[in-house]
Amino acid sequence: MPTHPILEYLWVIPLLPLLGSAINGLFGAKWPNKYVNIAAIGSTGLSFLFALEAVREFFDSGQVLFHKEFFTWIAAGNFRAGFDLQMDQLTVVMVLVVTGVGWLIHIYATGYMAHEGGYYRFFSYLNLFMFFMLILVLAANYVLLFVGWEGVGLSSYLLIGFYFLKKSASDAGKKAFIVNRIGDFGFMLGMFLLFRTFHTLDFTTLFQAASNPAWVSEGWGQFGTFTIACLLLFMGACGKSAQLPLYVWLPDAMEGPTPVSALIHAATMVTAGVYVVARSHMLFAHSETALVVVAIVGCATAFFAATIGLVQTDIKKVLAYSTVSQLGYMFLACGVGAFSAGIFHLMTHAFFKALLFLAAGSVIHAMGGEQDMNRMGGLSKKIRWTYGTMLIATLAITGIPPLAGFFSKDAILLGAYQIPGGHPLYALGLLTALLTSFYMFRLIFLTFHGKQRYDDRKVHVHESPWSMLGPLVVLAVLSVVGGWLAAPAFLGRPDYFANFLTPVFGGRESAEVLGEAAAHTLELTLAFVAVGAALAGWGVAYWLYLVRPEKADGLAKSMAPAYRILLNKYYVDELYDAVIVKPLVWISTNVLWKVVDVEAIDGTVNGIAGGTTAIGDGVRHTQSGNTRSYAVWVVVGAILILAVIFFWPGAEKTAVGMVR
Amino acid sequence: MNSFLAANAELLITIVKIALLLFVVLTVNAYLTWFERKVVAHIQSRWGPHRVGPHGLLQPLADGVKFLFKEDPTPAGVDKFVYFLAPLLALSLALTSIALIPFGPDPIHLFGHDIYLGIAPPDVNIGILALFAITAMGVYGVALAGWSSNNKYSLFGGLRSSAQMVSYELALTMSVVGVLLMAGSFNLKDIINAQAPLPGHPDRGILGWNVWPQILGFFCFFVAAIAETNRVPFDLPEAEQELVGGFHTEYASFKFAMFFIAEYTSMITVSCLCTIMFFGGWLSPFPASWTFTHYLPSAILIPFGLWVIWDGIRYETIFGRVILPGVGTAIAALGAVFVFLPGVNDFIQGPFWLLSKILVFLFVYVWMRGTLPRFRYDQLMSFGWKLLLPVSIVNVILTSFAILAKLQWGGK
Amino acid sequence: MVPTNYYVILSAILFGLGVFAFIFKRNIITIFMSIELMLNAVNLAFVAFSQALGKLDGQVFVLFVIVVAAAEAAVGLGIIILIARNRQTLNVERVDLLKL
Amino acid sequence: MGREMTASLVVFFVLAALAVIGALSLIIQKHPIHSALSLIVVMVALAGLYLLMGAEFVAAVQIIVYGGAIMVLFVFVIMLLNAGVEEHTSISKMAGAPGLLLVVALAGFVSASIARSAASVQTASQSGTMSSTKEISGMIFKDFVYPFELTSFLILIAILGATVLAQREKS
């Protein structure tokens, strides 16, 4: 019995969901939902418990990086890709978030999907996703991480297209898949470059090599290998985490079932990009350029998505764009070097955004599948629990203290403010915060307040079952207390969370840039400003949608062009369609299909076949079954051999040798 | 001229010997037919030939003349070449086989040359093998004759005989192996000498012959030999009742004579072989110490001559009364010569015994023809394959074991 | 003594004639005979070399060849009889099908 | 020596001519029987050559087995099948002149290459007593005893095969 059983057998944690997935996938079809639930929830719950135990052991072992090579997966030359898992502080956060939130969402899904077809299929996919996600966060080298990376992409594709009979759903799935491929392409190129440079893809060795001053001093500076590699990795991250310009798939991904949106497209998968950037911070740290790019992209995405979110009427779409913008925040944090802040926001966001989605799902459930906020309103009386939890989540995301979002977002803004030349970023981030609070409260007001805009006779509003409300409550609690880890910072104490992650990020926190006291005062001021912005957004939303609803439409009319642009999401999809999709389709049709495939490939295949037939026809005549012709051929062969023997240099020797 | 003679003396002598042997063999053949007819006749209580010459002694001559002067039709549709080849082949092979037989142990000294009885030099290492080779070739005469004469009876005769000969050749060869093992040589002379008493051993005379230890072999050999020569009871190739004349149905006059002579010649050859391999060849049946047996030839010839004279005097035809006494006196005189010329007498011993043994075997041949019925074809085959061959193989095994045992415990 | 070359060249000629017979003749039996002819030619070469080298291995080998030839003849002629029985022909050019 | 030399040479050439003529007539003859006879001639001539080379045993076996057994089998089969003159179908084109050319080339190569090697063999030591049958038997039953046993197996199997092949199927 090893001292740290679970750490020693870390592979159990990802394996359990895979097991559940396999069981459900293989046998679930015939089973009643009950068994499927047991398999799915049981496996994820168990892996959550094991994760907890592993974390405990990790602390028990003094928080030293645990790294174990379980078996070698690919070995070619000096290249080794092993099934190596590792456990450090960052992993701890990720694993707990993934397993914990994932488990809750599983429970929720049992209620939400209860009446859907393909129940077992859904949970099989979901467990599969859990497996790959855990592989992703536990991986100790880029290759294995990439496996998880692609795996989650796959399962996300499967789940977005869960209602594969709906064309929009399947299209959305394909869109997500393809857009992600673009990012993954960059990611792979990044990996290749890294391997070519450092001859390893193992995190520890790679980062040691990278932190080797020789490299840094070697002027691998702003546009060297590091920059390129980091930008390529970041490209992948953009794809996965829906950043500009690759964000387009995420809103469409809302076609999937709501638990999927909650788990994959809010809490876990989309944050994988952030995780990768944070994981690779050693590399990014060597390239200011890359960091700046990350910051700018993140900030721009945050603002951009927020603006789109202002006018959306589909409740899930609003949440989707808010997810995009929140991810932007995280990248902003990474970009300004406040990695711990980014991860912190990742965690809190996982809580409240999952909560938001689940609550929205509960609303949709209550409305019997209605997603348009214009057909809701005044639901607060009817579904109190949902309303309460969702309100908490909204407060959290808008950054009202002392809820989770406040601390994390504040840390990010602080980081952005502190870096030299970071004020524009800060300003934009602040504006985004205002917008965020506006559209979130707009969502709340449109959905739960005001006069009811739906037909009572058609829709029978009803509160969701406890299997759905339970997770809501738990997540609500988490959204409240989740941020308190960082609370001491405001009381002048060290930030627990940051300290906890310090071993990973080497304490390169912007907070240390200024003196402690100055940082404290600055933090407080910034916090007040942020809260002010949030309240302002709240107020505007209140005024526009509750006091003077007609004003909103007036406003929309008064600035019609901007409104239309926002409503159409800046026509980005149309742009992509015109610039990329149409040419691609044209090329594939007229070049790849009509020329390459039909002419070249089919031509080759048929040509080979025809050639073989022709040769066969020719040779067949030698097989006449006529003994005498066979004899002739034998004679010819004999003559050839004899000629060789005869004319071979020194043949007489060999001949004598034959005799003697 | 003389120089040429001197140069090619060997060649000359050989040619003379061949001519002599040919004459002898042909004559013996002729009188063998007379002998056969007489014996068979007496077995069947008839007189046999007695018109042409006294006791029909000129009958062979008459037959010869008849053979020569009868019309010789060549049937239509025969394969000419083979049709003519077949009898030639048969006869020549039969005669060649005789050439390998040594008729006496030691040479005559004439004109300063050692002249052996028998054409082949006595030290032919593979004498017996050569004989078998020739007899093996003997199949073709019959087979080709049967095939070429474009006649179904002939064809069947040829088929039967070739099958029969091939089958019995195995038994023939296997049965001899025992003898060869004991002699340790293929050379006929060595085989005979191997039956002679070893120096320093008791001279057991007739008891030393191979026939006693090789009785099985002898049985197999003799039966197989009769089959090889297509004699009764194995004369299916010319079974009159079934196949008219068998393979020589279409042959007339001289070509038929050729087959005929070939058959009798091979009879002689086989008798020689039997004598040489199982009955001590020219060895006297009596121990050498019994010197008086050397006068046995005279003791037989003189009374026989006297009997012939006496018989001739009281013969019914004048011709007989003239000719027979002459012959008698000649015979008696020969016996007398042997008595009074001891050197000649000693030299004559070997050939005398050899010839007398051969005569005995020829008599046995005729005797069997007179008594035994013919086999059926399937009986023939099963007899050859299922009895003779296994028995001869067993004989080989037993012999080799015996020899091994002798080498192991026999001492010396 | 006759030079070994003569024997060898003679055997080569005989072998060639055998091959030509094999190619040229149409009667299965004759073709089979031509095989025997080739074997004989080879035997001649064997004996010639064994004589030239003063070793008997060649002759022993010839004996083996003869034995094998006998076996081959037995089986081959059996096959020929079968073919003649089934195809009513001995012409190899009419026997060019594996199955009737 | 000279006379002996010429004598053996004469004998050799006579036998060689016989053999070649026989082989040729094997080809030329139309009827299988004639071919068989020509082949027998060849074999007898070869036996003579063996004798000339002093290989008496081989010569005897050659005549007994080849002449007395194998060829008899051939003749027997020809008679049994009543094979006629071979018919003139010329389906395989290669059989004619091209085949002849090939064969000439083959024979040329064989004789040339082996003779070239034999030229060096000529000087090899001539053992005095060739083919004393005892030596051969010694080799067969000592050095080559296993091949010898194997040949016995081969013969057995051949017999079985022949019987099985030739027996009429029960119908």
Residue from D165, D167, D168, D169 whose CB has the most chain C CBs within 10 Å, to mutate: D165
Residues of D in contact with B169 (CB under 8 A): 68-69
In tens, the pLDDT along A363-380 reads 888 888 788 888 887 787
Q: Whole-angstrom Cα distance, residue D102 to residue D104?
A: 5
Does residue B326 surpass a pLDDT of 70? yes
3-state DSSP assignment of residue A80: strand
Q: Whole-angstrom Cα distance, residue C18 to residue C31?
A: 9
In tens, the pLDDT along C44-89 reads 988 888 888 778 888 888 999 999 998 988 888 888 888 888 888 8
Query: What is the residue type of A267?
Result: A
CB pairs under 8 A between B and D: 79
DSSP of B148-193, one letter per residue? HTT-HHHHHHHHHHHHHHHHHHHHHHHHHHHHHHHHT-S-HHHHHH
Q: Whole-angstrom Cα distance, residue A365 to residue A115?
A: 11
DSSP of B353-386, one letter per residue? HHHHHHHHHHHHHHHHHHHPPPPPHHHHHHIIII
Q: Whole-angstrom Cα distance, residue A96 to residue A84?
A: 19
Chains near B (3 or more Cβ pairs under 8 Å):
D
Query: What is the residue type of A368?
Result: G
* DSSP bridge partners of A76: A79
**pLDDT for D89:** 64
Q: Could you tell me the sign of the dihedral formed by the alpha carbons of A187, A192, A196, A199, in that order?
A: positive
H/E stretch holding A86: strand A79-87
CB atoms within 10 A of CB C89: 16
Give the closest of D34, D79, D133 to B143, CB-based: D79
Contact A7, A54 (CB under 8 A): yes
Least confident of A52-61, A496-505, B255-264: A496-505
Angle at CA of residue A74, ends A69 and A76, nearest 5°:
120
Contact flag B166-D73 (C-beta cutoff 8 Å): yes
Least confident of A447-451, B275-279, D9-13: A447-451
Contact C63, D140 (CB under 8 A): yes
Does residue A147 surpass a pLDDT of 50? yes
Query: What is the residue type of B286?
Result: F
DSSP of A547-566, one letter per residue? I-HHHHHHHHHHTHHHHHHH
**pLDDT for B305:** 87
Q: Which two tokens stand for residue A337?
A: 């070097």
Helix axes B127-148, D32-53, angle to 10 degrees: 170
H/E stretch holding A110: helix A89-112
Does residue A510 surpass a pLDDT of 50? no
Contact C49, C11 (CB under 8 A): no
Q: Quick one: average pLDDT of A401-406?
A: 82
Domains in chain C, ordered, with CATH? Answer: 4-94 (1.10.287.3510)
Percent of chain B with pLDDT over 70: 94
Contact residues for D8 (Cβ-Cβ < 8 A; gap 6+) = C1, C2, D52
Within chain C, how many helices (H) and strands (E) appear? Answer: 3, 0
Does residue A493 surpass a pLDDT of 70? no
Beta strands in A391-438 (DSSP E): none
Least confident of A68-72, B104-108, B259-263: B104-108
Q: Which two tokens stand for residue D105?
A: 């080339």
CB atoms within 10 A of CB B239: 20
Summarize chain B as % helix, strand, coil (round to 5): 75, 0, 25
Residue-wise over B123-145: b if at least 16 C-beta within 10 A, else e?
Answer: ebbbbbbbbbbbbbbbbbbbbbb
Q: Which of the four pLDDT bands, split at 50, 70 and 90, describes residue A288?
A: confident
Alpha-carbon torsion, ordered B103, B104, B108, B113, to 10 deg:
70
| β-bridge pairing B113-115 and B108-110 | antiparallel
Phi and psi at A141, nearest 5°, equal -150, 165
Residue B301: burial class (beta carbons within 10 Å; 0-12, 13-18, 19+): buried
Q: Does C97 contact A at CB distance below 8 Å?
A: yes
Question: Closest-CA residue in chain A for D109?
Answer: A642
Contact A522, A414 (CB under 8 A): yes
Q: How far is C73 from chain D (nearest CA, A)?
A: 7
Percent of chain A with pLDDT over 90: 7
Phi and psi at A75, nearest 5°, equal -135, 115
Residues of chain D with pLDDT under 70: 1-5, 88-96, 113-131, 169-171
Contact D122, C52 (CB under 8 A): yes
Phi and psi at D99, nearest 5°, equal -60, -40
Q: Whole-angstrom Cα distance, residue A188 to residue A104?
A: 33
* DSSP bridge partners of A204: none
Report the candidate in A233, A236, A235, A227 with the shortest Cα–Cα distance to residue A291: A227
Least confident of A73-87, A193-207, D115-129: D115-129
Q: How far is D102 from chain C (nearest CA, A)?
A: 9
Q: Quick one: average pLDDT of A240-247?
A: 84
Complex ipTM: 0.72
Whole-angstrom CA distances from B372 to B193, B369, D9 are 35, 6, 53
Q: Whole-angstrom Cα distance, residue A479 to residue A523?
A: 21
Residue from A622, A630, A646 whose CB has the most chain D CBs within 10 Å, to mutate: A646
**pLDDT for C57:** 84
Q: Quick one: average pLDDT of B377-392?
A: 87
Least confident of A144-148, A292-296, B103-107, B346-350: B103-107
**pLDDT for C40:** 92
Residues of A in contact with D114 (CB under 8 A): 655
Q: Whole-angstrom Cα distance, residue A515 to residue A519?
A: 6
Report the candidate in A344, A148, A338, A127 with the shortest Cα–Cα distance to residue A240: A148
Bigger pLDDT: A422 or B222? B222
Residues of C in contact with D89 (CB under 8 A): 26, 91, 93-94
Q: Quick one: average pLDDT of A118-145?
A: 90
Q: How far is A613 from chain C (nearest CA, A)?
A: 22
Query: What is the residue type of A642?
Result: L
Q: Which two tokens stand for residue B229?
A: 């020569």
Whole-angstrom CA distances from A326 to A237, A319, A425 are 14, 10, 14
Q: Which of the four pLDDT bands, split at 50, 70 and 90, describes residue A63?
A: confident
Angle at CA of residue A133, ends A128 and A139, nearest 5°:
125
Contact D66, C66 (CB under 8 A): yes
**pLDDT for A133:** 92
* DSSP bridge partners of A71: A83
Contact flag C52-D106 (C-beta cutoff 8 Å): no
Q: Which two tokens stand for residue A105?
A: 């969402």
Phi and psi at B114, nearest 5°, equal -80, 115
Highest mean pLDDT among A15-24, A563-572, B314-323: A15-24
Contact flag D102-A656 (C-beta cutoff 8 Å): no
Question: Closest-CA residue in chain A for C24?
Answer: A628
Q: Whole-angstrom Cα distance, residue A521 to residue A302?
A: 27
Q: Whole-angstrom Cα distance, residue A408 to residue A341?
A: 6
Does residue A660 surpass a pLDDT of 70? no
Categorise residue A481: left if φ over 0, alpha if ψ from -120 to 50, beta otherwise: alpha
Q: Which of the four pLDDT bands, split at 50, 70 and 90, describes residue A656?
A: very low
Contact A79, A195 (CB under 8 A): yes
Q: How far is A72 from chain D (nearest CA, A)?
A: 55
Contact flag C31-A624 (C-beta cutoff 8 Å): no
Contact residues for B255 (Cβ-Cβ < 8 A; gap 6+) = B72, B84, B87, B248
Whole-number mean pLDDT of chain C?
Answer: 85
